[in-house]
Amino acid sequence: MSVGSRARFALVTLAVFCLGASPAPALPSAVAADVHESYRLLTASAYHPVSPQVLLAAASDALAEQARKQGVTITPPVLRVEADDDATVNDLDAAIASAAAASHGTATDFAYAAISAMTKSVGDRYTQFFTPDEFKQFNEALDPERISGIGVMIEPDPVTGDVRLTYVVPETPADRAGLRAGDVLTAIDTTPTRGLTVEAASKLLRGRAGTTVAVTVMRSGVADAAYTIRREEVQPPTVVFKMLPGNIGYVYVMAFGKATPAEFDTAIGRLKDQDAKALVLDLRNDGGGYVDSALLISRRFIANKALLTVEERGEHATTIDAANETSVSLPVTVLVNQYTASASEITAGALQDDGVGTLVGIKTFGKGVMQTLTPLPDGAAIKITTAHYLTPRRRDINLRGIEPDLRVDENKEARYGDIDRDAQLRAALAFLEKKIAQAKPL
């Protein structure tokens, strides 16, 4: 054997020794717990059962692929279902640790690759693994982090070029100071707003909680006053509302977050104080969120009737009913479109089936399944489809959507909530105006 051959033989022997004879470092405890919990949930709770061997095969291939990304070629480890889950997952842990050690990668990255592959192997588009960063982004979409400011939403004013308030969040410093939607800010502290971008103006309005900002306001085209407002931590809203002509309230639910029912109650309370005679509930582009929030809002309209039927794994069905706790007894139209999905379809379907609201717009997305979101020990999370639901009339909307009662296509360059630029809203208002007229005594 030549010197070069002996050297190559020594290297191969060393590689075999490192991969086989020497035990790989154990996974960090939190990461190992992620693997165990994910495997348990996927095998035990997924609505459509999946073979544990399919999960393991996907994890094995993912480990080889993750190693390839590190520039190392390894044979996918052989993983088999053992007599009990603990033994099976312990073997998976060992394979993850060995692949990471052989590839000079982190055990966390390899564990995440394995878990992600197992979730995808279920074959369900909504079953998903989130890294800690991804989970944070997911949560922020439903429950945005609080920001330090005065509690307004702004846009450039098309007439003056200054900054116009499009919404004042209830119970915030701006609301308590008396600012209103439609007010134009001509200056923020000493900076004129004319020509400022939304980003630049927002930066001036925000600041450390407890500090103050001065805004000069023009209202209805007339110079009003200067307001000095103390900044606070403010929760970005998931619900916005306003009164439309004819005393018709407009409530736009952007997502069903944890705070959404409370925000909705505030909106309804304020519209009632303004003598609302009817209501437009806008669920367009609402991709859903928490089922509990959708049910709570549905209960504001529906009393003593079914809200939905949930079918869990094994065809176990449970019907969820509303009690007598309504807060809205006005005529209601519900705006929907192709992006009205999931939790928002639960509310839309319940209001339609129970005869409470008239749906206006186009067919909804068609997501009739429900997910359970489980945070994992190291800050990651796994979301698994665990149930299928039916509307109160036991309609299956999954992959079908909900047809509106009154079909109205969206106009080009639509601006939601702006009567002049929102054909679907105009149709909803026209319908409600007829309902109001019919209800008037002769």
pLDDT, tens only, 59-111 = 999 999 999 999 999 999 999 999 999 999 999 999 999 999 999 999 999 99
| pLDDT band at residue 224 under the 50/70/90 scheme | confident
Average pLDDT of the residues in 336-343:
98
Q: pLDDT tens digits for 384-433?
A: 999 999 999 999 999 999 999 999 999 999 999 999 999 999 999 999 99
Q: Binning pLDDT at 50, 70 and 90, where does residue 233 land?
A: very high
343-349-354 Cα angle (round to 5): 135
- Spatial neighbors of 281 by CB under 8 A, at least 6 apart, are 251, 253, 332, 333, 334, 335, 347, 351, 357
pLDDT of residue 3: 38
Tokens of 243: 């009164």
CATH assignment of 147-234?
2.30.42.10
- Architecture per CATH, domain 239-439, reads as Alpha-Beta Complex (3.90)
pLDDT at 5 over 70: no
Evaluate if residue 347 carries a pLDDT over 80.
Answer: yes
How much is the pLDDT for 265?
A: 97
**For the chain, what are the domain ranges?**
26-123, 147-234, 239-439
pLDDT at residue 256 is higher than 80: yes
pTM listed for this prediction: 0.89
The predicted-structure confidence for 160-185, as pLDDT tens digits, reads as follows: 999 999 999 999 999 999 999 999 99
Which range, of 139-143, 274-278, 349-353, averages the lowest pLDDT? 139-143
Q: How far apart are CA 260 and CA 293, in angstroms?
A: 7
pLDDT at 427: 98
pLDDT tens, 18-31?
A: 334 345 568 999 99
Token couple for 347 = 């509310």
Identify the bridge partners of residue 320 per DSSP, sorted by sequence position: 308
Residue 24 pLDDT? 58
- pLDDT digits 0-9 by tens, 137-160: 999 988 988 999 999 999 999 999
**Is 7's pLDDT higher than 80?**
no
Residue 15, burial from CB neighbour count under 10 angstroms (0-12, 13-18, 19+): exposed
CA 133 to mean position of chain CA atoms: 15
**What pLDDT is stored for residue 4 in this prediction?**
44
What mean pLDDT comes out for the span 344-367?
Answer: 98
* 3-state DSSP helix/strand/coil % of the chain, to nearest 5: 40, 25, 40
pLDDT for 223: 85
Q: Write out the catalytic residue numbers.
A: 342, 353, 367
Question: Residue 441: which pLDDT band, with cuts at 50, 70 and 90?
Answer: low
pLDDT grade for 334, boundaries at 50, 70 and 90:
very high
To the nearest whole number, what is the mean pLDDT of the chain? 92
